[in-house]
A and B are shown apart, each in its own frame.
Chain A
Amino acid sequence: MANSTAGKAKVAEAAPVNMMAVLAPAVGWLIPGAGHMIQKRWIRGLLLLVSIVTLFVLGLMMQGRIYRANGGDILDILGFVGDLGAGGLYIVTLALDWGQGAIAFATADYGTKFMIVAGLLNFIAVADAYHIAIGKKQ
């Protein structure tokens, strides 16, 4: 009983609710790496920004296809979830109507995967920013 109470207290201690715990993941999702930068992890944030943005932009340049929200094929939905992780990059790409995909290029499929992976990597970066915000990671 005492152990259980101590365990709950530890969990509550490890995850205090603060403004940064909400702000960092939100900003980090919108702009890759920004969740780290607003917590003064400048180099980490910059490396994340460069890595994720470069991967996404290379995917676009390779004529990759961007997935849109739809209730169709399960693979399309998974692709959409992956792309959505890129946050602001995904929104801008949709707004400018880029990422139509070109089957004429053999490497276009690589481009599609690059963009999905960029989004998934940003999800990991967002989780990392959250862990820093709650003090679980330095």
Chain B
Amino acid sequence: MTLQLNHFSAAVVFALFASIVFGITHRETTREMVRYGLYCFAMFLGGVFVAGWAMWLLRR
């Protein structure tokens, strides 16, 4: 079975699961874990958009 994700969906899936692990392993309490996980997810996605726009600008 072959799965072909596009660049964006691959980045979102990656960000989701990496953020869950980061949240659990880097913080002490449940509340902090959730907050840090969400923060990491937002940073991953923000990074994707920033990198995307940077590449678009470089291409022009």
Contact = CB atoms under 8 A, between A and B. Distances in A.
Interface string A96-136: 00000010011100100010010001001101100000000
Interface in A54-68: 54-55, 58, 61-63
Given A55-B17, A110-B10, A105 B25 contact: no
A105 B4 contact: yes
Nearest to B25: A128
Interface size class of B (residues with CB under 8 A): 10 to 19
A52 interface: yes
Interface size class of A (residues with CB under 8 A): 20 to 34
A47 B7 CA distance: 25
Interface of B: 1-7, 10, 13-14, 17-18, 20-22, 24-25, 28-29
Nearest to B1: A61
A48 B26 CA distance: 13
A125 B1 CA distance: 29
A107 B14 CA distance: 13
A110 B48 CA distance: 14
Contact of A105 (B2, B14, B24): B2
